[in-house]
Chains A and B, each alone.
Chain A
Amino acid sequence: MIGAGKMKQYTNVLDKPLSKGRQEVSLSGFAYLFSELVQYNQTQVDNIGELERRLEDAGYAVGVRVLELLCHREKGNRRETRLLGILSFVHSTVWKVLFGKVADSLEKGTEHEDEYMISEKELLVNRFISVPKDMGSFNCGAFVAGIVRGVLDNAGFPAVVTAHFVPVDGQQRPRTTILIKFAEEWLLITNRYYEEKQG
Chain B
Amino acid sequence: MAPAFPRSGDAIFANVERVNAELLTLTYGAIVRQLLTDLEEVEEVNKQLDQMGYNIGIRLIDEFLAKSNITRCVDFRETAEVIAKVGFKMFLGVTASVTSWDTEGTCCSLLLEDNPLVDFVELPDTCQGLYYCNILSGVVRGALEMVSMKTEVTWVKDMLRGDDAFELQVKLLKQVPEEYPYKDDE
In the complex, per-residue mask of B142-170: 1 if CB is within 8 Å of any chain A CB, else 0: 00000000000001111101111000000
Which of A30, A41, A65 is the one whose CB lies under 8 Å from B24?
A: A30
- The answer to whether B26 touches A25, judged by C-beta atoms less than 8 angstroms apart, is no
Question: Within the complex, what minimum Cβ distance (angstroms) separates B132 from chain A?
Answer: 12
In the complex, per-residue mask of B79-105: 1 if CB is within 8 Å of any chain A CB, else 0: 000000000001111000000000000
Distance, CA A80 to CA B162, complexed state (A): 38
Question: Within the complex, what minimum Cβ distance (angstroms) separates B85 from chain A?
Answer: 15
Distance, CA A19 to CA B55, complexed state (A): 30
For window 1-51 of A, CB contacts with B under 8 Å fall at: 2-3, 6-10, 12-13, 19, 21, 23-30, 32-34, 36-37, 39-41, 44
Which of chain B's residues have a CB closer than 8 A to the CB of A100? 19-20
Whether A61 is near chain B, meaning CB under 8 Å from some CB there, is: yes
Which of A19, A29, A33 is the one whose CB lies under 8 Å from B119?
A: A19
Which of chain B's residues have a CB closer than 8 A to the CB of A91? none
For window 55-83 of B, CB contacts with A under 8 Å fall at: 55-56, 59-60, 63
- The answer to whether A99 touches B38, judged by C-beta atoms less than 8 angstroms apart, is no
- The answer to whether B19 touches A36, judged by C-beta atoms less than 8 angstroms apart, is no
Whether B47 is near chain A, meaning CB under 8 Å from some CB there, is: no
Give the A-B pair count, Cβ closer than 8 A.
134
In the complex, per-residue mask of B22-35: 1 if CB is within 8 Å of any chain A CB, else 0: 11101111110111
For window 12-58 of B, CB contacts with A under 8 Å fall at: 13, 16-24, 26-31, 33-35, 38, 48, 52, 55-56
- The answer to whether A21 touches B20, judged by C-beta atoms less than 8 angstroms apart, is yes
Whether B182 is near chain A, meaning CB under 8 Å from some CB there, is: no
Whether B10 is near chain A, meaning CB under 8 Å from some CB there, is: no
Question: Within the complex, what minimum Cβ distance (angstroms) separates B91 from chain A?
Answer: 4
Distance, CA A7 to CA B30, complexed state (A): 29
Which of chain A's residues have a CB closer than 8 A to the CB of B29? 61-62, 65
Whether B180 is near chain A, meaning CB under 8 Å from some CB there, is: no
Which of chain A's residues have a CB closer than 8 A to the CB of B122? 12-13
- The answer to whether B19 touches A30, judged by C-beta atoms less than 8 angstroms apart, is yes
Whether A160 is near chain B, meaning CB under 8 Å from some CB there, is: no
Which of chain A's residues have a CB closer than 8 A to the CB of B90? 26
Whether B121 is near chain A, meaning CB under 8 Å from some CB there, is: yes
Which of chain A's residues have a CB closer than 8 A to the CB of B163? 2-3, 6, 9
- The answer to whether B26 touches A65, judged by C-beta atoms less than 8 angstroms apart, is yes
Which of chain B's residues have a CB closer than 8 A to the CB of A24? 18-21, 93
- The answer to whether A21 touches B22, judged by C-beta atoms less than 8 angstroms apart, is yes
- The answer to whether B162 touches A9, judged by C-beta atoms less than 8 angstroms apart, is yes
- The answer to whether A61 touches B116, judged by C-beta atoms less than 8 angstroms apart, is no
Known A-B contacts A24-B18, A28-B16; A9 and B164 likewise in contact (beta carbons under 8 Å): yes
Known A-B contacts A9-B163, A26-B90, A27-B18; A33 and B31 likewise in contact (beta carbons under 8 Å): yes
Question: Within the complex, what minimum Cβ distance (angstroms) separates B27 from chain A?
Answer: 6
Which of B13, B31, B35 is the one whose CB lies under 8 Å from A26?
A: B13
- The answer to whether B22 touches A37, judged by C-beta atoms less than 8 angstroms apart, is no
Question: Within the complex, what minimum Cβ distance (angstroms) separates B118 from chain A?
Answer: 9
Q: Which 3 A-B pairs have the closest CB atoms?
A: A3-B161, A23-B21, A29-B91
Residue numbers of B with Cβ under 8 A of A are 13, 16-24, 26-31, 33-35, 38, 48, 52, 55-56, 59-60, 63, 90-93, 116, 119-122, 135, 155-159, 161-164
